[in-house]
């Protein structure tokens, strides 16, 4: 029971902040670019409670954790954005999309940097806070990399729509209704189905994990810390 409590309290804060502040960043950049929709609806806030979606932010990650899933997945309430208020909708939507993963990278670096201070804590406090900060680094790096997969509705896909020539951008944008099911199917459901018939395949480990490890390494390097703590 103590181990479960330790894991919950060292995973949950980083996960909730990573998911909710990711959404808040979209709202702040949208407001900067001329769309006040999030501000007028009370969603322009760094308060995580304004962005929590009970199932996606708390229940689903909790169930995956209790099931000892190899990954945690979740989402917050999407920040409302009206592209009609933007001066250059395609370009500005690209900046808005980039803001979410950018926030996750910032949070990862801030968590790694905070480890410098955590090292001065008593041993038991260091065990709790140091673990929470290290897990925050990992969570934010996972979310940053996952969200930059270049398929809408993920941020990488919306960034791609904003920078491609118009004809190509429209073709990518048409993938939005199937983008997320396609990604989840290829990365998670396909390996499970292949495993049932005796075939070992893990696209997540092959394609995504190396990028996550590279980003984690870059974050610790930026914070002036060794990768292995």
- Indicate if the pLDDT at residue 229 is higher than 70: no
> Which of 3-17, 43-57, 62-76 reaches the highest mean pLDDT?
3-17
Non-local (6+) Cβ contacts of 179 within 8 A are 151, 152, 153, 154, 157
pLDDT given at position 71: 61
pLDDT digits (tens, 9 = 90+) for 98-138: 999 999 999 999 999 999 999 899 999 999 999 999 999 99
Kindly indicate the confidence band of residue 52, based on its pLDDT and cuts at 50, 70 and 90. confident
pLDDT given at position 173: 92
Neighbours of 81 (CB within 10 A): 22
53 is catalytic: no
Kindly indicate the confidence band of residue 184, based on its pLDDT and cuts at 50, 70 and 90. confident
Exposure b/e, 20-42, CB count within 10 A at least 16 = b: bbbbbbbbbbbbebebebbeeee
Please provide the size of the chain in residues: 229
Q: Give helix then strand counts, H and E, for the chain.
A: 11, 0
- Indicate if the pLDDT at residue 60 is higher than 90: no
pLDDT given at position 124: 92
pLDDT given at position 165: 93
Q: Write down the catalytic residue from 23, 53, 124, 176.
A: 23
Q: What is the mean pLDDT of the chain?
A: 88
Average pLDDT over residues 25-53: 91
Distance of CA 212 to the CA centre of its chain: 11
Average pLDDT over residues 192-207: 76
Kindly indicate the confidence band of residue 228, based on its pLDDT and cuts at 50, 70 and 90. low
- For residue 183, give the nearest of 161, 207, 167, 199 by alpha carbon: 207
Kindly indicate the confidence band of residue 70, based on its pLDDT and cuts at 50, 70 and 90. low
């Amino acid at each position: 029971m103590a181990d479960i409590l330790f894991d919950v309290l060292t995973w949950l804060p980083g996960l909730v902040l990573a998911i909710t502040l990711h959404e808040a960043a979209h709202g702040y950049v949208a407001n900067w670019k001329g769309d006040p929709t999030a501000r007028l609806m009370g969603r322009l806030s760094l308060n995580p409670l304004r962005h929590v979606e009970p199932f996606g932010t708390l229940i689903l990650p909790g169930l995956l954790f209790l099931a000892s899933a190899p990954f945690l997945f979740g989402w917050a309430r999407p920040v409302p954005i009206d592209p009609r208020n933007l001066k250059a909708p395609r370009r500005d939507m690209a900046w808005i999309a980039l803001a979410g993963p950018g926030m996750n990278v910032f949070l990862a670096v801030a968590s790694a940097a905070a480890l410098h201070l955590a090292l001065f804590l008593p041993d038991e406090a260091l065990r709790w806070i140091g673990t929470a900060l290290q897990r925050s680094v990992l969570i934010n790096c996972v979310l940053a990399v996952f969200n930059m997969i270049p398929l809408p509705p993920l941020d990488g896909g919306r960034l791609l729509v904003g920078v491609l020539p118009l004809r190509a951008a429209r073709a990518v944008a048409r993938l939005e209704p199937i983008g997320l099911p396609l990604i989840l199917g290829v990365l998670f459901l396909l390996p499970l189905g292949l495993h049932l018939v005796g075939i070992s395949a893990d696209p997540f480990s092959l394609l995504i994990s190396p990028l996550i490890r590279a980003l984690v390494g870059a974050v610790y390097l930026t914070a002036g810390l060794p990768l292995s703590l």
